[in-house]
Structure 1
């Protein structure tokens, strides 16, 4: 059985200023993440602007990511669709492109109830044998894959992991009480990672790891070893920047942070626009303070 653990960054898709996919910059960023110790990568997450990508672009991103990883870490792909028919078809396609797992969103077109949500995930699981991480983000998508829903999914072997992003850290314990170790449970919120680690999460799907991968891996490993005193020191420095991961403009914020830290292109695809004015200055000042503070460790 698949048992994902560790830090799995939700990889940003690098673009040119004109809005085209910059494959070389994307490949370079994935290699940088792996070289800095992440345990897996997830391409085409929401942070990777999945919904704005054509199928040709998605294929190129998945194939190139698999080439760059070259077996060093598993490569997962986000799967975000409106209809079950498309979701099932693309689950099979992404496997043919080389993806080794799927991070599956709820339907983007309709707020499913418990029965419908369970059937959505069962249907996608039937389309390929790829292991599935359920992307549970009810704040953004209005669907909570809660305990009751997961009871209907616990016997689906392809579903192996929950990305827990309710914002309520108590859910981690509730999942363990109900299901034991049936699912790997990943923290999906950057500014709850230490709290979630204390409750036993096995991994972390992280946005700001794109910016500081070595530091994120160090933070996660400190928590896993129980060294919370040292973990808190690093966490206190990074948390103001980690708050950028939970804003509606997290794509723009994280891409700008990547640009500031290692020169990656900050461009996004419309309707997202580059940051301007006080908002841009806030992100810059937050990231620059973290850059300076990290030098003191």
Structure 2
């Protein structure tokens, strides 16, 4: 199997009903909006997807439903965030059974593995499956840095094909590209570095606010890739206050509020998360309101040459 690890890939939110059950109707509305905007893949089960609160059966349902919705047009990628190697291998097996076309992998959860343990964890999982894999490198949130030397060791696994780069060090994109060339695709995982990362050679953008603003996110990326920097920058400057909602412990609540404002989501989260209240809610609501009021008219970004 292969995936073109390029373009905008939303880390989609999981939709819940008022009864705390999966809301597949609203989930379908959001996925269709993503596809219509021109995203290159759907990523399930990340932080935004509230994966740590989902049951195994709910994850199965979401994978199967997404595979059905995309109709083979774009890949469906499931995040693996497990505590054990055995658990990661099992998650990869289930992903394939459910029709997923790729995996995004975090280092082991909870236990802070050393470099050798982390590399072995990735290798053993990769060797257990033929699904393409993107390594998620986010030492700020998850405590383990996947270094270039570690990536070098992982190159023996042909199905490890990409890196989600979330170190916040934008020069790391250049380091990876210089070291590995076309062997590894690099996708930025930080919304507030989306345009900058694209201009530095990132192949794609694993995005958060795309959940509420899919067309605007795709437009920034496609315009930048086409060299129409001025137009991309104009949209990006409008977008930045909204994108900053992604770099917060309450990013799920923030982005779900934005999804409600654009009519492609609900605000329901799963406890212990709760909807925002008080001054925090007022602040986020004001940012979203301003963004909606000044939402730019987009050029025909789907047909750029």
**CA shift at 1:32, angstroms?**
1.3
Contact persistence 1:106–1:117 (CA under 8 A): yes
Partner Cα distance (1:127, 1:202) in 2: 27
CA deviation profile, 1:96-143 (whole Å, cap 9, x unmatched): 001000111111121111111111110110221100011111111001
Q: TM-score normalised to the size of structure 2?
A: 0.95
Distance 2:120 2:247 in 1: 29
State whether residues 95 and 130 of structure 1, in contact with CA within 8 Å, keep that contact through their aligned partners in structure 2: yes
1:37 aligns with 2:35: no
Map of 1:287 onto structure 2: 288
2:79 is paired with a residue whose SS is strand
Q: Deviations over 1:72-108 (max 9, x none)?
A: 1111111111111111011011110010001111111
Structure 1 segments (4+ residues) deviating >2 Å? none
1:158-187 alpha-carbon deviations (Å, 9 max, x no partner): 101100000110110111111111101001
Equivalent pair of 2:134/2:160 in contact (CA under 8 Å): yes
**Deviation of the 1:225 alpha carbon:** 0.7
Of 261-270 and 238-247, deviating more is 261-270
Within 5 A, what are the aligned runs for 1:1-297?
2-262=3-263, 264-295=265-296
Q: Secondary structure at the match of 1:152?
A: helix
- Report the 3-state secondary structure (helix = DSSP H, G, I; strand = E; otherwise coil) of the residue aligned with 2:145: coil
Aligned equivalents of 2:166, 2:19: Cα separation in 1: 32
> How far, CA to CA, are the matches of 1:116 and 1:197 in structure 2?
32
Cα distance in 1, alignment partners of residues 159 and 20 from structure 2: 35
- Say whether the 8 Å CA contact 2:30–2:264 is kept in structure 1: no
> Partners in 1 of 2:168 and 2:263 — Cα distance?
29
What CA distance in whole angstroms lies between the structure 2 residues aligned with 1:14 and 1:200? 33
CA drift of 1:285 comes to 0.7
Aligned residues between the structures: 297
What is the CA–CA distance in structure 1 between the aligned matches of 2:282 and 2:224, rounded to whole Å? Answer: 32
TM-score (norm 1): 0.97
State the Cα distance separating 1:35 from its structure 2 match. Answer: 1.2
- 1:255·1:266 contact (CA, 8 Å) conserved in 2? yes
Query: For the structure 1 residues 114 and 289, does the alpha-carbon distance in structure 2 shift closer, same or farther, using more than 3 Å as the test?
Result: same
Greater Cα offset, 206-215 or 10-19: 10-19
Distance in 2 separating the partners of 1:32 and 1:3: 21
The whole-number CA distance in structure 2 between the counterparts of 1:56 and 1:143 is 29
Aligned residues: CA RMSD? 1.2
Does the 8 Å contact 2:212/2:264 carry over to 1? Answer: no
Q: How many angstroms apart in 2 are the aligned matches of 1:227 and 1:35?
A: 22
Per mean C-alpha deviation after superposition, the further-off stretch among 2-11 and 66-75 is: 2-11
Tell me, in whole angstroms, the C-alpha distance in 1 between the residues paired with 2:66 and 2:214: 17
Q: Is the 8 A contact 1:114 1:148 kept in 2?
A: no
